[in-house]
Amino acid sequence: MKRPMRRVAATLGSISVAGLAAVWFAEITYAQGSHSHLTHGPLLNEEVAAYIVHGLTQGASVFLAGLVAFVSLVWLPISRAEDNGHQKKDVGLFRSWVWMLVGLLIIAGLVELPLYAVRASGEALSPGLLREALLDTRVGQLCMERLVFGVLTATAVTYAAAGPRRFTYRWGAAVVASVLLLMTLTQQSHAAAEESFLPFLVDWLHTMAAALWMGGLLGFPILLVGLLRTMPTETRVELLKRSVRRFSKVAMIAVMIVVATGLYAALLHVPSVSALVGTSYGRALLIKLGLLGFLLALGGWNLRLGGRGPFSRLVGAELILAIGIFVATGFLTSLPPADADQPGVGENGAGGNIVVRVSGTQGIAYSGNYGKVVEGQQGKAFEGWRMAYDSLRAEPVEYKVGEEEGAFAFFQKNQAGGTLRVEILKDGKPVASRETSEEFGAVDVVWPPQAETTAGIP
């Protein structure tokens, strides 16, 4: 009985270890390189590690909220009428897993924030830098909010598990706390950067629907390797059959919402087929869609099985695919959207009054980040941090910043030879520029110029 449980735990644990190992490797490579804003090699390693860890954060949050929904909407109504002597053990098992997910969320947050601080500032990690990242950046504030709502959710579940065996205000409080937990993911998404209510609402609905669906992918393995294995065969088969039937109704509604909201987000952030296949964001989206297709196929197969046959093995496969989807989502939410990453040739940023223009020797690969400069409590500050990877072309490549009061750009050559030139344009006119011909040279451009002395972590 313990072996399947260890397999489920090992699946989640292996992802955590992989993320921690990636961060460890990034920190080592960073220590061996330069402490400038842009370094060759370490930047890419740190970015990949950051994407993986952010995917872990999203996965832990969504599974946590989904497990609360699964217990509230599926398991409690189905199992309440069964007098099998396990009334407390089953909910207690779910409670333990909720706290395990909170622990994973805390670990991911403790890794994600220092990695963000080092990656965004270009400085070595220090207590002062970590404090600045935690207290003076939006990422740090959302990290604290996420941990608070995660702990509140687990606390509410603990309180509800000790109460009546039905959906009461206690479980309602857990659901509300988990929904607010999911909102912190949307607040750190591309939808929040749109500065419009509709994209924010759609992304929040997308996240909540995903949680409803993914909750069963974790809830069923917990039941199969735990409580259901101790029940008589007839009772186990009946409970599983009824649970699958009830969850399928919830899952079908959730999947329809996921597809509809996902289509909206794709149309919003991917303007063309060329952007889908020719940008990092588009390729990450294709990988996510591929995994989602496999997940839907397995889900349809399991729906037909109704808890019979290889149901448990298929649910395990679905869980692994879901974790892969969260890793891909970590890349999606960290990469610049395809409409921002898609270059404009000889145009003024496709609708924004400030753009970053990159030009130089054709064929030279480059990478870097850019964003807006805003007025903060302690002077000018960097926000809206986005990343770009490309090769120089015959015509300049432009990245839209938008209607902002200022902008920053940190770019480097990823190969020797040639020249890299970075300009900031306001209303089509260059206001700041720098270039480099050095081997793996880097350039930092900030406008207005006074922002250079007060910029910190974006």
Q: pLDDT for 13-29, tens place per residue?
A: 444 444 444 334 333 33
- Is-contact 139 113, C-beta < 8 A? yes
Tokens (6 digits) for 150 = 């995660």
Specify the pLDDT at position 303.
Answer: 74
Q: Report pLDDT digits (tens) over 221-240.
A: 887 776 667 677 777 778 77
Rg (the chain; Cα; Å): 24
- Is-contact 213 254, C-beta < 8 A? yes
pLDDT of 378 above 60? no
Coil, helix or strand at residue 70? helix
Q: Which of 149, 192, 122, 190 is nearest to 57 (CA)?
A: 149
Q: Band of the pLDDT at 335, cuts 50, 70, 90?
A: confident
Specify the pLDDT at position 222.
Answer: 83
- Is-contact 412 366, C-beta < 8 A? yes
Specify the pLDDT at position 31.
Answer: 38
For the ranges 13-17, 132-136, 159-163, 420-424, the maximum mean pLDDT occurs at 420-424
- Full strand arrangement of the beta sheet holding 429-436: 397-402, 354-360, 420-426, 429-436
Specify the pLDDT at position 2.
Answer: 44
Q: Which residues contact 126 (CB under 8 A, 6 or more apart)?
A: none
Specify the pLDDT at position 301.
Answer: 82
Specify the pLDDT at position 344.
Answer: 43
- Of 127 and 25, the structure prediction assigns the larger pLDDT to 127
Q: Rounded to an integer, what distance in angstroms lies between the CA atom of residue 268 and that of residue 260?
A: 12
| Dihedral in degrees, nearest 10, Cα atoms 249, 316, 63, 286 | -90
Specify the pLDDT at position 456.
Answer: 43
- Of 380 and 67, the structure prediction assigns the larger pLDDT to 67
Tokens (6 digits) for 293 = 């297709």
**In this structure, how many other beta carbons lie within 10 angstroms of the beta carbon of residue 164?**
11
Q: Which residue matches tokens 């909102």? A: 183
Specify the pLDDT at position 88.
Answer: 60
Specify the pLDDT at position 99.
Answer: 95
DSSP 73: I
Q: Band of the pLDDT at 34, cuts 50, 70, 90?
A: very low
Parallel, antiparallel, or unpaired for β 365-376 and 407-413? Answer: antiparallel
pLDDT of 44 above 70? no
Percent of the chain with pLDDT over 90: 20
* Domain boundary assignment for the chain: 2-340, 343-453
Tokens (6 digits) for 270 = 């991917």
